[in-house]
Structure 1
Amino acid sequence: MSPEYRKALKNHRRSTQGKPDKAASDDWTAFRKAEKKYKAKFPPPSLDDVLDLSLLLKANNHLDNNDLVGRADVVQVEEIRCEGNKRAFILPTIPGLVLLPSFLSEQEQQDLIQTALSDVARHSETNLHTHYDIPPRGLWDIRIDPASSKQLIPPKVVTEEADFASEPQGPRRLVDNPPVNVTNLAIINSVPKAPAPPSPGTSPSTASELLERLRWANLGYFYHWGTKSYDLRKTLIPIPERIQSTCKNVVQSINWHAVWWNKDQISGWDNETPDWQDWKRTYQPDAGIVNFYQPKDTLMGHVDRSEVSCTTPLVSISIGNSAIFLIGGQTRDVEPLPILLRSGDVIVMSGPFCRRAYHGIPKILPNTSPSKLFTDSKDNESSAYRSYLQSTRININVRQVFPRGYQFADIGLEGS
């Protein structure tokens, strides 16, 4: 028994002493049971049932010695052709899901990390902007500048005339919108989307302290968390070119004929017509979120319902610490498949089944961030990146909100 395990066992016994065992409830859905299983703090969840396609890569030379491993034979997988000497896999049980382990090189990962922290988190709306007056230069630039790293960033001042969303009394209510489509988009777009109010107990903090609390940054069309819909009247901030080109490269590298060869999978597509044959030419991401996970963070199981285009590829990029990803079916009663996502892995969700499947992140695996990132330089900024990545998982997920040719005039907006 290692000293770390012995210490964790001691802390677990102390924290659970005198408390009743939390047995699985008969009321839990299959998805909820899986979430609870992999969220467990102690003992840490076994990865014996977790799909780990990195084990199929040549010599496993991309794995660090401290990496946890799952199994490559949990379910049937099929390899399909992928351009650029990359490898891609599909699962017959989840049509439209494409797994691309170690798709990104170390340099590509570093470039995207820099874009996420120094560009996206600077120019886009984040969870912190509700509560703090973030300086225009951005948190990361302040963090790496020795002259300003100790600077205290003040909370946002609330004015009397500010129009914020009202906070409902009692337990938090679940927002359960119907899937957006061309018919109901105008109605959903007309729902008021007032900003959330700043927290009254917020205190001044340094950039380093705030970066530890950074959880998301918006990309493209602005996503309004309170109504779980896009606020199309806000100014669109273009997705950075580096992220756009990476996601387009992912879509263009996949052999979509091998993904959608089964003609039984043609129902439920945008405009009732499969258009995967054109994705390499027409895919144009226009919205997304950069998630910044810390070790205790999770993403509860959910279905993406906010995009009019609900079948075009959603590209999800993992960088930093590894995570367990769950993906099930179109109800929570379907037992989900756990998949181990490592730094540099990419997954693509496409088509009517996969894009409407429940999915989530119940577990971040600490101390699994690659040790080779940002080791070529000893400067202050590289050191800051290494330090930040020790505890962080960055997830860049990008999608296309509107199908080709959608007329914005239908909902009273300009554009096309």
Structure 2
Amino acid sequence: MSPLHDPSSPAYKKANRLFKKATKHRDPLLELEWTPFRAAEKKFKARFPPPDLSDVLDLATLDPGREQEIQQGVWHGSTTVQYTRLSKNAYAVPHIPGLVILPSFIAPEMQRDLIRWSLSEQARHPNETNLDIHYHLPQNGIWNTWLSSRKDPIDITIEPKATQEFQANHEPPGPRKLINNIPATPDTFTSISTTPKPPQAPSATVKPAFPSELIHKLRWANIGWYYHWGTKQYDFTKGKGAIDQRLRNLCRDAVATVDWKQVYIDIHANWGEDEPGWMSWNETYGKYFVGHQHTNSHFF
């Protein structure tokens, strides 16, 4: 058992004291302003108190061969959550229509290929990464630059974007401002599209760094439509980025794996004037777009 799961452990008592101190002056009505997504994020990403996973489906518990792995782990889910087994490796959760779980869908070798591709080909110009906000990155990307420096050791320094003038005049750090946007719908598309999305301010504290120092700080690279983290909205003015063919094929394969009649046959929803999109996904999905479904479907 993890010390944070044992109320009698010193680690638990210390974490509890820090938690009470940090939340002592928190507005009790703050949580009422959170969206459902934000509320779930705050619940399951919380370090303390440990999140309650009794209502979380844990597919690992269905595999007797993973019993030792589960015992050695920290977080344990539940097998009592209602689910439907669509096939050998596909599960649906009835109370969340459209949610399909494909455990271990991507083979280990393909996972390695995707990792190599994402670092060398996707995390580079013109696709933005989390480091582009703060540094003048080389166009071939931080990963490729680091590999080159290993083969031919030279002092390559990545300069920060914040100038000395900016560092002197930037606002002091403070509590992070939470953003609670209006839901995205066809009716609010114009409003979202016209919301100003100025470039995010670079950090005033970062220093020039070597590629070997920054490679460990690379967190994400944009794929498809550009997501503006400052406003938590998509910036459609930048256009749609190209989707690599290997990702398109992966999405098509995932859709083709599922028998969508089993997922939606008992769901009575207002599909509008058109027939439900899922009825022809196996033929149309990925032909004109990737990653955008007509209904609320997700893959894990």
TM-score grouping bracket, smaller chain normalisation: 0.7 to 0.9
Q: 1:109 aligns with which of 102, 108, 111?
A: 111
Structure 1 pair 148/279, CA: closer, same or farther in 2 (3 Å)? Answer: farther
Instruction: Tell me if 1:247 matches 2:251.
Output: yes
Assess if the C-alpha contact under 8 Å between 1:143 and 1:207 holds in 2.
yes
Find the aligned partners of 2:81 and 2:27 in 1 and give their Cα distance.
Answer: 27
Structure 1 position 138, deviation (Å): 1.3
Aligned residue number for residue 275 of structure 1: 277
Aligned residue number for residue 119 of structure 1: 121
Find the residue that maps to 2:82 and give its secondary structure.
coil
Q: 2:95 aligns with which of 88, 93, 96?
A: 93
Give the aligned length.
282
Find the aligned partners of 2:97 and 2:200 in 1 and give their Cα distance.
Answer: 38
Find the residue that maps to 2:100 and give its secondary structure.
strand
Give CA deviations for 1:205-240 in whole Å, capped at 9, x if unaligned.
Answer: 233432333332211122223343333332433122
Find the aligned partners of 1:190 and 1:33 in 2 and give their Cα distance.
Answer: 27
Find the residue that maps to 1:233 and give its secondary structure.
helix
AA aligned to 1:141 is N
Structure 1 pair 61/152, CA: closer, same or farther in 2 (3 Å)? Answer: farther
Find the residue that maps to 1:220 and give its secondary structure.
coil
Aligned residue number for residue 73 of structure 1: 79
**Greater Rg, structure 1 or structure 2?**
2
Unaligned 5+ segments in structure 2 are 166-170
AA aligned to 2:134 is H
Identity %: 34
Structure 1 pair 97/191, CA: closer, same or farther in 2 (3 Å)? Answer: same
Structure 1 position 45, deviation (Å): 4.9
Find the residue that maps to 1:252 and give its secondary structure.
helix
Aligned residue number for residue 311 of structure 1: 295
Find the residue that maps to 1:216 and give its secondary structure.
coil
Residues 41-60 of structure 1 mapped to structure 2, 5 A cutoff = 41=47, 45=51, 47-57=53-63, 59-60=65-66
Find the aligned partners of 2:19 and 2:94 in 1 and give their Cα distance.
Answer: 43
Instruction: Tell me if 1:214 matches 2:218.
Output: yes
Instruction: Tell me if 1:129 matches 2:132.
Output: yes
Judge which range, 183-192 or 103-112, deviates more. Answer: 183-192
Judge which range, 56-65 or 190-199, deviates more. Answer: 56-65
AA aligned to 1:221 is W
Cα RMSD for the two superposed structures: 4.2
Unaligned 5+ segments in structure 1 are 161-165, 289-306, 316-346, 348-416
Structure 1 position 89, deviation (Å): 0.7
Greater relative contact order (Cα < 8 A, sep 6+): 1
Assess if the C-alpha contact under 8 Å between 2:99 and 2:298 holds in 1.
no
Instruction: Tell me if 1:233 matches 2:237.
Output: yes
Compare the two structures and name the one with the higher helix fraction: 2
Find the residue that maps to 2:181 and give its secondary structure.
coil
Instruction: Tell me if 1:151 matches 2:153.
Output: no
Structure 1 position 125, deviation (Å): 0.8
Assess if the C-alpha contact under 8 Å between 1:158 and 1:198 holds in 2.
no
Compare the two structures and name the one with the higher strand fraction: 1
* TM-score of the aligned structures, taking structure 1 as reference length: 0.55
Structure 1 pair 74/213, CA: closer, same or farther in 2 (3 Å)? Answer: farther
Find the aligned partners of 2:16 and 2:67 in 1 and give their Cα distance.
Answer: 40
* TM-score of the aligned structures, taking structure 2 as reference length: 0.73
